């Protein structure tokens, strides 16, 4: 028997799988965190990819905007931001710097969260503006995206003399990777621009998948937005499960991001044999607090599980479904297939909030059964969303074997949000 552990909330759930069923356990191979976090960033800034030094870019500039991730992203800003500020002022001592919080579609970051993110000194001494995607007074139009949607971003970013961004790179389930150009779109874009970019047509694209940028229509719009906004420099990091920096990349927004994505792909890529049953998780707390977030881990199961198979995901979902629109659209649908057909008919300009999330879950459910393993969430609610539920991994495995037979092959992907399944598909 092989024992498998899956992160769940702040602990793990375990199960034993017979050797005759077990295909293997597949995890990312991220190296240990850098011994000196600040030095890793400093070295990246000293040797920028495809770009002059940041202090050289700043020379003669009167203003700069640094786009910073918001409270929902574990970017180590306490390490990144002081170095960016110091180099800007080294290059142009009198430069007027604004830190613009890239909230995207999220709520505004609070004062307390700014202190937690940057530390008391930066939160108190620096000019910080929190982006609001619905506040038209903050926004300005820069034209039209390749998709046809209007490109509207924060006016501060559009009008500054030097635009740069901090961020981190991780696998993303429809943009391919986070980081780089995502600081602009969706980070500091208008609500209507984000919705146009996340349209059903693009989410449906086979290229809008984890680890893939080539021919990805969502990435194409994002890249265009960053270039049009004149994003000039990025400082991005890869972080481990302990949220410490593993690698740092700085320089040209396209070249530095590409180097970071290539590095992460080497570490996070896992070749998983096609399985009848995939056992996975969403990384535990805080990523497994609701069904909405757990969809990300399910996409790793989708990539590894055959059609007609079963995805078992361990996720606490202690906060429930994670979004009323997300829940309602699934619960009110006669079937996942019916919901998919309805979403497919929604034009680019009529995308509704959370549409992409229930579209992806419906896509998964239309081809595979999903069993959510949770002790902290109402099983009846999950069933109304066309999901199945179990309280333990052995119980879920028993349900899957009952459906597929005792010889069904099982692959384990303990942390579905940290891997890129089958890297040969990632162009």
Q: Cα separation of 145 and 208, whole Å? A: 17
pLDDT in tens, 85-130: 999 999 999 999 999 999 988 888 889 999 999 999 999 999 999 9
What lies within 8 Å, CB to CB, of 212 at 6+ separation is: 176, 425, 426, 427
At 239, list the tokens: 């972080």
At 309, list the tokens: 């198979």
Other C-beta atoms closer than 10 Å to the C-beta of 261 total 26
Q: Which fold has domain 2-26+271-425?
A: 2-enoyl-CoA Hydratase; Chain A, domain 1 (3.90.226)
Mean pLDDT along residues 243-256: 96
Q: Cα separation of 108 and 111, whole Å? A: 10
Domain ranges for the chain, please list them.
Answer: 2-26+271-425, 37-267
pLDDT in tens, 334-352: 999 999 999 999 998 889 9
| Residues with a known catalytic role | 106, 172
Range in 35-39, 71-75, 164-168, 390-394 with the lowest mean pLDDT: 71-75
Whether residue 415 has pLDDT greater than 80: yes
Whether residue 132 has pLDDT greater than 80: yes
Other C-beta atoms closer than 10 Å to the C-beta of 266 total 11
Whether residue 426 has pLDDT greater than 60: no
Mean pLDDT along residues 280-294: 92
CA angle, 163 then 164 then 167, to 5°: 145
Whether the domain at 2-26+271-425 and the domain at 37-267 fall into the same CATH topology: no
Range in 68-77, 84-93, 175-184, 221-230 with the lowest mean pLDDT: 68-77
Question: Rounded mean pLDDT of the chain?
Answer: 95
Mean pLDDT along residues 284-293: 90
Q: Are β-strands 63-69 and 163-168 bridged in parallel, bridged antiparallel, or unpaired? A: parallel
**Quick one: angle between helices 336-344 and 355-367, nearest 10?**
130
CB 277 within 8 A of CB 368: no
Mean pLDDT along residues 49-56: 98
pLDDT band at 396 (very low <50, low <70, confident <90, very high): very high
Q: Calculate what percentage of the chain has a pLDDT beyond 90.
A: 91
pLDDT of residue 106: 80
For residue 56, give Cα distances in angstroms to 64, 82, 251, 381.
13, 17, 12, 56
Whether residue 425 has pLDDT greater than 60: no
**Quick one: angle between helices 324-331 and 291-304, nearest 10?**
60
For residue 114, give Cα distances in angstroms to 78, 94, 118, 130, 364.
10, 24, 6, 10, 37
pLDDT in tens, 8-50: 999 999 999 999 999 999 999 999 899 999 999 999 999 999 9
Q: Which fold has domain 37-267?
A: Rossmann fold (3.40.50)
pTM for the whole structure: 0.90
pLDDT in tens, 66-77: 999 988 788 999
Q: Cα separation of 42 and 257, whole Å? A: 17
Q: Cα separation of 203 and 176, whole Å? A: 11
């Amino acid at each position: 028997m092989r024992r498998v552990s899956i992160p769940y909330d702040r602990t793990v759930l375990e199960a034993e799988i017979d050797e005759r069923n077990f295909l293997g356990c597949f995890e990312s191979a991220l190296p240990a965190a850098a011994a000196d976090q600040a030095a890793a960033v400093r070295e990246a800034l000293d040797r920028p990819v495809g770009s002059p030094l940041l202090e050289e870019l700043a020379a003669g500039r009167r203003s700069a905007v640094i786009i910073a991730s918001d409270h929902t992203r574990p970017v180590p800003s306490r390490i990144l931001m002081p170095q960016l500020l110091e180099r800007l002022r080294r290059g142009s001592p009198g430069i007027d710097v604004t830190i613009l919080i890239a909230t995207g579609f999220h709520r505004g970051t609070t004062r307390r969260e700014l202190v937690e993110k940057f530390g008391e000194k930066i939160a108190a001494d620096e000019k910080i503006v929190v982006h609001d995607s619905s506040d038209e007074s903050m926004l300005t139009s820069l034209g039209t995206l390749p998709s046809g949607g209007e490109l509207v971003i924060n006016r501060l970013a559009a009008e500054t003399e030097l635009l740069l961004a901090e961020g981190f790179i991780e696998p993303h389930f429809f943009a391919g990777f986070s980081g780089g150009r995502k600081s602009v779109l969706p980070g500091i874009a208008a609500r209507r621009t984000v919705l146009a970019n996340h349209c059903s047509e693009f989410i449906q694209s086979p290229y809008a998948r984890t680890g893939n940028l080539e021919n990805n229509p969502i990435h194409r719009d994002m890249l265009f937005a960053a270039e049009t906004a004149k994003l000039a420099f990025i400082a991005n990091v890869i972080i481990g499960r302990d949220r410490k920096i593993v690698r740092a990349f700085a320089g040209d927004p396209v070249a530095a991001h590409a180097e970071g994505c290539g590095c992460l792909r080497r570490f996070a890529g896992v070749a998983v044999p096609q399985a009848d049953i995939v056992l996975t998780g969403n990384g535990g707390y805080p990523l497994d607090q609701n069904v909405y977030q757990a969809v990300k881990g399910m996409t790793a199961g989708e990539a590894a599980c055959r059609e007609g198979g079963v995805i078992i995901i361990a996720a606490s979902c202690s906060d429930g479904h994670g979004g009323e629109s997300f829940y309602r659209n699934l619960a009110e649908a006669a079937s996942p297939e019916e919901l998919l057909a309805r979403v497919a008919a929604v034009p680019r300009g009529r995308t509704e909030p959370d549409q992409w999330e229930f579209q992806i879950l419906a896509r998964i459910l239309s081809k595979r059964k999903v069993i959510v393993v949770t002790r902290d969430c109402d099983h009846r609610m999950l069933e109304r969303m066309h999901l199945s539920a179990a309280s333990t991994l052995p119980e879920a495995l028993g349900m899957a074997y009952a459906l597929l037979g005792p010889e069904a092959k099982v692959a384990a992907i303990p942390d579905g949000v940290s891997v890129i399944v089958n890297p040969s598909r990632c162009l």
